[in-house]
Amino acid sequence: MDEVIFTGYLTEERFAEERPVEKERLDADKQYDQLKVKPLPRWTKYFLLVSAYIFLSIGFMLLIFIITGTFFHG
């Protein structure tokens, strides 16, 4: 599960891997350190991930209900 969707935070390693040109530009302009923020508390990350899996499960259940209702009870 991609936690960036739910937290809005991106690790330095992932930022460097996914956006190397932008990281180089920010390093050259000395702006990179200004953009750094403290990571979320561990409980917040776990809460968001558990919530995400719950919502994903609800979505799959609804999809199954829709498919079942469309093809088998119509």
pLDDT digits (tens, 9 = 90+) for 28-74: 888 888 888 888 898 988 898 899 899 999 999 999 999 999 998 75
DSSP-derived letter for residue 24 is: H
Number of domains observed in the structure of the chain = 1
Q: What is the pLDDT of residue 53?
A: 92
Q: How far apart are CA 27 and CA 55, in angstroms?
A: 38
| Identity of the amino acid at 36 | K
66: which 2 tokens?
A: 């829709």
Say which range, 2-6, 10-14, 59-63, 64-68, has the weakest mean pLDDT.
2-6
User: Residue 38: which domain range?
Assistant: 4-72
- DSSP assignment string, the chain: --THHHH----HHHHHHH-HHHHHHHHHTT-HHHH--PPPPHHHHHHHHHHHHHHHHHHHHHHHHHHHHHHH--
